[in-house]
Amino acid sequence: MLDGRALSLPDETPDPIHDHLAYYKPAGELTSRGDPEGRAQVFEALPGPGRGRWINVGRLDLNTLGLLLFTTDGELAHRLMHPRYGVIREYAVRLFGPVREARLRELESGVELEDGPARFDTLERSGGSGRNVWYRVTLREGRNREIRRMFEAVGLTVSRLIRVRYGPVGLGALHRGQTRALSDTEVAALYRAVRLPVPEKRQDRSSIRKQRGALRS
């Protein structure tokens, strides 16, 4: 009431509550919706979100395994993929055949690809022996088949490629084909990584909605 007159106040609709998911993509699945050849697609393996639709954060090619993030927040997905924000991607790479140290150093200093220069932020040996040696690499962009093309540029062949981390979220204990909802801590870290406001926790939002309802009544 104001001066004896009833006022009609606009309804305060809370911000959408988004869902966020981690998925261990196996080899042989496409990161797409629909395929004329009828091949398996990652979206077929995902549970349905609470609302909206899943948006994949980046892509993995057909033969690459590992972590794929999905969200119903389009702005978050866009920023996580945009080179401007420099979100780190980490991969485990198995190389086939002998590896010369000088070739690896080229990949840290930079190589020229058909779509521009590319370089790894870090490149470290992580295990294996003989003709199959594992390395860990990080970079801040996600061009098509970029890692495979970078190694090919210095005469090396990738025999296995697994994404193990995207920004602050790691693959963790997931097995191939499994999904898990991201924790509140992981979600907050993703939003902070791309300078977006951290969303309220689900229980906090529920409490706020109840408070608003009580005020209106």
What CA dihedral angle connects 178, 181, 182 and 184, to 10 degrees? -160
Active-site hit among 11, 15, 35, 61: 61
For tokens 């869902």, what's the residue?
A: 19
Helix, strand, or coil here: 24?
strand
Radius of gyration of the chain (CA): 22
What CA dihedral angle connects 133, 139, 141 and 144, to 10 degrees? -10
Q: What pairs with residue 92 in β-bridges?
A: 136, 162
Distance CA 119, CA 96 (A): 20
Is position 61 annotated as part of the catalytic site?
Answer: yes
Catalytic positions, written as ranges: 61
